[in-house]
Structure 1
Amino acid sequence: MSHHSRQLEFIPLGIAVLTVSDTRSIAEDASGALLIDRLQNAGHQLVERRVVKDDIYHIRAMVSGWVIRDDIQVVLVDGGTGFTARDSTPEALGPLFDKVIEGYGELFRQISHQQIGTSTIQSRALAGVIDQTLIFAMPGSPKACATAWDDIIAAQLDARTRPCNFVAMVVKDQQRCDTRTPRLESPS
């Protein structure tokens, strides 16, 4: 079970929020607003927010532009993770990942099962790393965004979370995961 280290400081990250939707504008985007509220309340910085239509190439173009920026360490993507003909977020992002974070989708569906039952199998929530930028994609409902942030993402974007978090991967000069740090044996 993870916990916070009182000896470490919180490190704010630059986060971009992308809503994938054919019908919503920023004014109608409750899910994006929820994620912005959560990340700012946690102490992170919103760098940019956009809404793009559910199209593989629009999604890829926006995310690709963000991952090359030095001020963005994390991209939160809501929407487009279902099974309808228009849901294309996994197809857009999957090929771009240098590494896939399999545990995120697995854990999201496990937690979601407690809330919505077997309908969670229709969620294609996914996460990965593109050029040292973390990407977390989740369903577009406000409840799903709250589940993803509150139960998974927030702790992993907090440098105080032990034994491991993702901050060391995206911010230079940070201590690596405690389970990965070699321990020196004390002399006898």
Structure 2
Amino acid sequence: MAHVHAQTPFVALGLAVLTVSDTRGFDQDGSGDLLSERLLTAGHVLVERRIVADNIYRIRAVVSEWIAREDIQAVLVNGGTGFTVRDTTPEALAPLFDKTIDGYGELFRQRSYATIGGSTIQSRAVAGVANRTLVFAMPGSPKACATAWDEIIAAQLDARTRPCNFVAMVLPDIQHCASRSTEIAQEVSI
């Protein structure tokens, strides 16, 4: 079980929030509001926030721009993860990933099952690393965004979380997972 290591300092990351919707503007974007509020409350920096139509190439263009920036270490994408014809977020993001974070989607669906039961099978929540930038995609409802942030993402974007977190993956000067650091130290001493 993960816990916070009191002697490790918090490291603020630069995050971007992308809402995928054909119908919402900023005045109706409860999910984008929730994610922005949560990341700021956690101590991170909201670098940019946008809304884009559910179009595979528009989504990919925005995320491609953001993963090329040095001031953005993580991208939170909400919406477009269902099964309708217009839901293209996973297809937009997959080609950008250098590595897929399979456990994110698995854990998201496990946590969602307690709330929505078997309907969680329709969630195509995905995550990956692209150009040393974390990208997390989740369904567009505020409740789903709260589940993703509160139960999974927040701890992984906190350098104090042990035994492992993703901060070292996006900021090279941060210590890696405690278990991996121990393995490296043992290899060096041999």
Give the TM interval when normalised to the shorter protein.
over 0.9
* Partners of 1:45 and 1:57 in 2: CA distance: 26
Provide the residue aligned with 1:10 in structure 2: 10
Whole-Å Cα distance in 1 between the matches of residues 79 and 65 of structure 2?
19
SS in 2 for 1:180: helix
Aligned partner of 1:73 in structure 2 is: 73
What do residues 144-182 of structure 1 show as CA deviations (whole Å, max 9, x unaligned)? 000000000000000000000000011121101111112
Is 2:164 the counterpart of 1:176? Answer: no
Per-residue deviation, 1:39: 0.2
Runs of 4+, deviation exceeding 4 Å: none
The gaps in structure 1 that reach 5 residues or longer are: none
Distance in 2, Cα, partners of 1:38 & 1:108: 17
Paired residue type of 2:94: G
How far apart in 1 are the matches of 2:43 and 2:151? Answer: 17
Query: What code does the residue aligned with 1:18 have?
Result: L
Q: How does 1:87-106 map to 2 (within 5 A)?
A: 87-106=87-106
C-alpha displacement of 1:95: 1.3
Alpha-carbon offset, residue 184 of structure 1: 4.0
- Distance in 2 between residues matched to 1:96 and 1:126, nearest whole Å: 12
Kindly provide the amino acid, as one letter, of the partner of residue 119 in structure 1. Answer: S
Query: What are the within-5 Å matches in structure 2 for residues 107-122 of structure 1?
Result: 107-122=107-122
Q: Which residue is 1:84 aligned to?
A: 84
Q: Hey, what's the Cα distance between the residues in 2 that align with 1:85 and 1:74?
A: 27
Q: Show CA shifts across 1:57-104 (max 9, x none).
A: 000000000001010000000000000010000000011100000000
How far does the alpha carbon of each residue in 1:12-40 deviate from its partner, in whole angstroms, 9 at most, with x for none?
00000000000001111000000000000
What residue number does 2:42 align with?
42
Amino acid at match of 1:81: T
Aligned length: 186
Pairwise CA distance, 1:183: 3.6
Gaps of 5+ in 2: none
- Secondary structure (helix, strand or coil) at the match of 2:136 reads strand
Helix, strand or coil at the partner of 1:34:
helix
TM-score (norm 2): 0.96
1:118-152 residue CA offsets vs partner (Å, 9 max, x unmatched): 00000000000000000000000000000000000
CA distance in 1, matches of 2:172, 2:178: 16
User: Which residue type is aligned with residue 135 of structure 2?
Assistant: I
Q: Secondary structure at the match of 2:81?
A: coil
Q: RMSD value over aligned CA atoms?
A: 1.1
- Which residue does 1:56 correspond to in 2? 56
